[in-house]
Amino acid sequence: MANYEALRHLTIGQYIPTGSLIHRLDPRAKLVALGCFIVASVLAGKYANALLLLLLTVALVKLSRLHLRSMLATLTPVIPILLVMALLQLIFYGGASRSGGLNRLLVDWGPLHISGESVRVIVVTWARFATLFLLVTLLTSTTTASALTRGLEGVLRPLTRLRLPGHEIAMVGTIALRFLPILGEQLEAILQAQASRGVSETSSRWRFLDNARRMARMVVPLFVDAYHRAEELILAMQARCYHGGKGRTYLVSFTYRFSDYLAVALGALLVILVGVLQYSALP
């Protein structure tokens, strides 16, 4: 039952106003800076740059005056699986060789080989995961859904020249973020309702078809509920004469300020710094 309750604490997609500097940034600048961070964390494959990124992200969370602990609470149910994964990787990672340097074997006992390389892979993976998770949570907690749509639309504006529906794609993203916590609660309700009627959580992995049917029984109500919500939303949008992005005007228009330019410039610098660190002699 414990893992059902985790769904309610899904902090991604919930706006928490604190009025900090990060809250006041232009959403377009925030999105571009986030893109830079994601590119940087994909590039980062060493202790130095992966941990630098994680530290910077934690600093950003502090700057936004949000609670780090409540952000990380979502991750608690995943930690056991992550630990098992890390352990398996530690033991079976193929990069072990008997050469010197970072790749030397730390433990060589019977069939057990643990190299410095496998430790590095695990640390970097964890750091990258925490960085990405915190960044996405940070973006959605410091930006309202409507500002996020406008920002995404602004970033995708060059695509409309190529006849790609930038506004519609931004709208899809907004609807998804808006409904993520709602559907999370719904899924939790479904699971608890089924558990209270005696549906067992897991059965043997050999009873594959039974497991598949159990899964279908869980997922079908979720989809049907989402479908009903979609029908209501479609009706509401039709009633308000929504007709897509063509010829649409806005009540509030965004203008770039100095801090926005600074955020984008820092993001770009970060990518370069991480790239340089990746090819440097640092571990």
Name the residue nearer to another protein (CB basis): 52 or 177.
Answer: 177
> Can residue 71 be called a binding residue for another protein (CB under 8 A)?
no
| Placement of tokens 């060059």 in the chain | 158
> Can residue 193 be called a binding residue for another protein (CB under 8 A)?
no
Judge contact between 54 and 131, C-beta under 8 A.
Answer: yes
Of 3, 70, 192, 280, the residue at the interface with another protein (CB under 8 A) is: 3
Identity of the amino acid at 132: L
Other beta carbons within 10 angstroms of residue 84's beta carbon come to: 10
Of 1, 2, 81, 251, the residue at the interface with another protein (CB under 8 A) is: 81
Cβ-Cβ contacts under 8 Å for 282 (sequence gap 6 or more): 46, 47, 48
CA angle, corner 179, sides to 174 and 182, nearest 5?
155
Name the residue nearer to another protein (CB basis): 65 or 222.
Answer: 222
Give the whole-angstrom CA distance, residue 37 versus residue 240.
37
Shortest distance, position 117 Cβ to another protein, whole Å = 10
Burial of 6 (0-12, 13-18, 19+ CB in 10 A): middle
Two structure tokens written together for 48: 């130095």
Give the whole-angstrom CA distance, residue 53 versus residue 267.
11
Shortest distance, position 269 Cβ to another protein, whole Å = 22
Name the residue nearer to another protein (CB basis): 118 or 142.
Answer: 118
Of 16, 51, 119, 180, the residue at the interface with another protein (CB under 8 A) is: 180
Contact residues toward another protein (CB under 8 A) are 3, 6-7, 10, 12, 42, 77-78, 81-82, 85-86, 89, 93-95, 122, 125-126, 128-129, 132-133, 136, 168-169, 171-180, 183-184, 187, 191, 202, 204-206, 208-209, 211-216, 218-220, 222-224, 226-227, 229-230, 233-234, 237-238, 242-244
